[in-house]
Amino acid sequence: MERSNQLSERIHNFLEGDGKDITSTLPNPLPGYKAVQINKTKIEVTGEKGQLYTIEMKRSRWACNCTGFKYRSTCKHMQMVPQEVRHAREYLTSLKDQVEVILAKFGQYELCGSYRREKATSKDFDYVIACDKAAFNVLRTELEAVGIKIATGKDGGMSGHLADVPIDIFRSDPESFVTMVLWRTGSKENNIALATAAKAKGMQVLRDGVKMPDGTMIHPKTEQEVFDLVGLPYKKPSER
């Protein structure tokens, strides 16, 4: 029955215009392998001996169901994934109001990632919103009602697409909003610098607050407070 359902899903996707063989569009495909794009967040890869692997978009990152990826967070099958698409800032700006008019009804929010760092391009929308779990579940329903497709979602986060742009929305408790926004803004290098400076003082900068040497958790009111706590000069998002 399960195989029958999977087959029906593939036929439906094919008839809807998906289920396309994208192997010839890849810059460096594996010899003897075939990649079929089932939808925007799912690719099926067939090996040279007929093995079938599923690669899915999870939190704006591709993940393969093979054993190698489980242990290394990468695998050779990633060569069968289309190259990352980045979107112009102007294009994202033209779309984001569709999300933000809904987010504003549920709590304080921030568009993070490379958009907040004022980069010219971004690969996705990366939002943080401060609300409780019940409200977060209602938020998902309202987003879907206006055509924002949510593929996955739990109490702490949801992922989907707005038009052709991946979107991640992460939930935080109100007291943890500042540190969650700080981490989701990045960059990776800035987060590493904060973590390293904090460790030298016996502290930890976490998504849900700053853990002090005595084990207590504090919740800074501003990002500058976090920089001050770990002894680093403050950087604006555009400098990170």
Domain boundaries, the chain: 2-80, 87-172, 177-239
Question: Whole-prediction pTM value?
Answer: 0.71
**Mean pLDDT along residues 21-27:** 89
Domains 87-172 and 177-239 share a fold: no
CB atoms within 10 A of CB 8: 10
Specify the pLDDT at position 27: 85
Cis peptide before 187 (omega within 30 of 0): yes
Residues in the chain: 240
pLDDT tens per residue across span 42-88:
999 999 999 999 999 887 678 999 999 998 889 999 999 987 778 99
Q: Which secondary structure element, helix H or strand E, spans residue 8, and what is its range?
A: helix 2-15
Please indicate whether residue 82 or residue 210 has the higher confidence score (pLDDT).
210
**What kind of fold does domain 177-239 have according to CATH?**
Beta Polymerase; domain 3 (3.30.210)
Specify the pLDDT at position 151: 73
Please, which pLDDT band fits residue 15 given cuts at 50, 70 and 90?
Answer: very low
Residue 201 has pLDDT above 80, yes or no: yes
Average pLDDT for the chain: 90
Q: Which secondary structure element, helix H or strand E, spans residue 42, and what is its range?
A: strand 42-46
Rounded CA-CA distance 55/137 in Å is: 26
Distance between start and end Cα atoms, the chain: 51
Of 65, 64, 35, nearest to 48 by C-alpha is 35
Just give the CATH number of 87-172: 3.30.460.10
Specify the pLDDT at position 25: 82
Specify the pLDDT at position 91: 96
CB atoms within 10 A of CB 74: 12
Three-class secondary structure of residue 141 per DSSP: helix
Residue 6 has pLDDT above 50, yes or no: no
Specify the pLDDT at position 16: 42
Rounded CA-CA distance 212/88 in Å is: 40
pLDDT tens per residue across span 137-188:
999 999 999 888 887 777 789 988 898 898 999 999 999 999 999 999 999 9
Residue 4 has pLDDT above 80, yes or no: no
